Amino acid sequence: MSLCRHLPSKSWRRPVYSCYGSFMASKESDTRQHILDVAQEVIAHSGYAASGLTVVLKHAAVPKGSFYHHFPSKDAFGEALMKNYFRTYLTTMDRIIADTSKTGTERTMDYWQWFYDVQTADDCQGQCLVVKLAAEVSDLSEAMRLELVDGTSQIIDRLEKLLTIARDDGSLPAGAVQTTVRELAQSQYDSWLGASVLTKVQRTPEPLQRAMAGTRRLLGV
């Protein structure tokens, strides 16, 4: 009997190589995501410039060569960091919006309660990269600044959607919308963002408590 009959055919071997390639792609994707997740925690605590690449890689236990394989430059890394942050943030907002067991006003308050909890964590230093990095990176990286513009615009889009649901289901007081729902969403976000900065500076939740009280009055809850 020919020995060749006992060898795996090419058609049998090909899927093995294909699966191996998929495994390697998945592993590389996991490494990239791991770097971004660790970096977000480090930078949320220490800031972008103060963290430094060496600090991030030490916490992630990843060699520098691997970092540059996934991110060709620090600008590219910063852009990916902001995309990753907003993707997670907006997913949380989408889950709140999708909860049809609650009125629009209740869902809006669920969002602001989550916002409050995030920003009063860690001795009122918060975990919001918008608050942490907006002033710092806007002059350092145009790519990161543009990601901040896009990400915050999408947050306001979703807040507008929540308030529109509240208006349409009748749970939003008639006098709450003085001009447009969009302007109400924008002014609410502006107010809470400012309160977040003061909470961080003063290391007290009082500015955010005032923002919460004002929002409750506005929404009639």
If one looks up domain 73-221 in CATH, what number appears? 1.10.357.10
* Fold matches, 9-71 and 73-221: no
**Beta-carbon contacts of residue 110 (< 8 Å; ≥ 6 apart):** 96, 99, 102
In order of 11, 30, 53, 75, the CA distances from 23 in angstroms are 20, 10, 27, 28
Residue 139: its pLDDT value, please? Answer: 77
CATH topology of domain 9-71: Arc Repressor Mutant, subunit A (1.10.10)
The domain limits of the chain are 9-71, 73-221
Element spanning 180, H or E: none
Structure tokens given for 120: 């009063």
Distance separating alpha carbons of residues 148 and 194, to the nearest angstrom: 16
For 119-133, how does the pLDDT look when each residue is reduced to its tens digit (9 = 90+)?
A: 887 655 556 778 777
For 7-63, how does the pLDDT look when each residue is reduced to its tens digit (9 = 90+)?
A: 333 333 333 333 333 333 445 568 888 989 888 888 777 777 767 788 888 888 888
Residue 57: its pLDDT value, please? Answer: 85
DSSP 47: -
In order of 48, 101, 113, 115, 167, the CA distances from 98 in angstroms are 33, 9, 16, 17, 16
Residue 186: its pLDDT value, please? Answer: 96
Distance separating alpha carbons of residues 96 and 204, to the nearest angstrom: 27
